[in-house]
A and B are shown apart, each in its own frame.
Chain A
Amino acid sequence: DAGVTQSPTHLIKTRGQHVTLRCSPISGHKSVSWYQQVLGQGPQFIFQYYEKEERGRGNFPDRFSARQFPNYSSELNVNALLLGDSALYLCASSLFQYQETQYFGPGTRLLVL
């Protein structure tokens, strides 16, 4: 079975631009979470979506938004990019909202110039 997939794998943007990152969860998984990992740090929680509704949000500005589609795939949007948004963006899926184990994708590496 395919694991969590993310696209694109790498992305270069300039300050002020907008970016959309995509995630497809493991088949049958209904929950998708997004994390940001800055170089040298552990991943930081951004959002969780379950059954197409936002169920949790981390300490990130309103420039970050996300949505989940009927097929449970998800998009993370970041507006007005800053240099500090350069990071690895990870998507994780789980079967249910409170399942013990989260399965991570390989991430999208975003560089903001």
Chain B
Amino acid sequence: DAKTTQPNSMESNEEEPVHLPCNHSTISGTDYIHWYRQLPSQGPEYVIHGLTSNVNNRMASLAIAEDRKSSTLILHRATLRDAAVYYCILRASGAGSYQLTFGKGTKLSVIP
């Protein structure tokens, strides 16, 4: 899987939007962009994924740059429960895509 680059840490005030960036300049045409997060003392949990178009679900939105070399995970209103490590992962579709290759992620702190 191709490599991603994320800031080590970010801070946000509670109830404000958070934009978590991810650079993936070597992304290939068939790589999906996945986001997982890991709350303290828990296993990772799926957040959202996309290929080319922006995606929304109940947890977050994913904005993908037109050239697909970067993406941004958007939490519309940060809560204390959103404090976690967020991982941006590129995952090829089809055969060989069974594993997730995690980096160090971005540790998000939410300030009350």
Contacts and interface: CB of A to CB of B under 8 A. Distances in A.
Interface of A: 4, 31, 33, 35, 40-45, 48, 50, 55-56, 58, 90, 92, 97-98, 100-107
B104 interface: yes
A45 B100 contact: yes
Nearest to A45: B99
Interface stretch (B19-27, B38-46, B64-72): B38-46
A31 B94 CA distance: 15
Nearest to B87: A42
A42 B37 CA distance: 11
Chain B interface, >50% SS class = loop
Interface residues of B, number: 24
A42 B42 contact: no
Interface of B: 32, 34, 41-46, 49, 85, 87, 91, 93-95, 97-105
Nearest to A40: B104
B43 A98 contact: no
A31 B46 CA distance: 16
6 contacts: A33-B98, A42-B103, A50-B98, A97-B98, A100-B32, A104-B44
A107 B100 contact: no
Contacts of B43: 4, 90, 92, 104-107
Contact of B99 (A33, A41, A90, A100): A33
Given A90-B43, A101-B46, A105-B43, A42 B98 contact: no
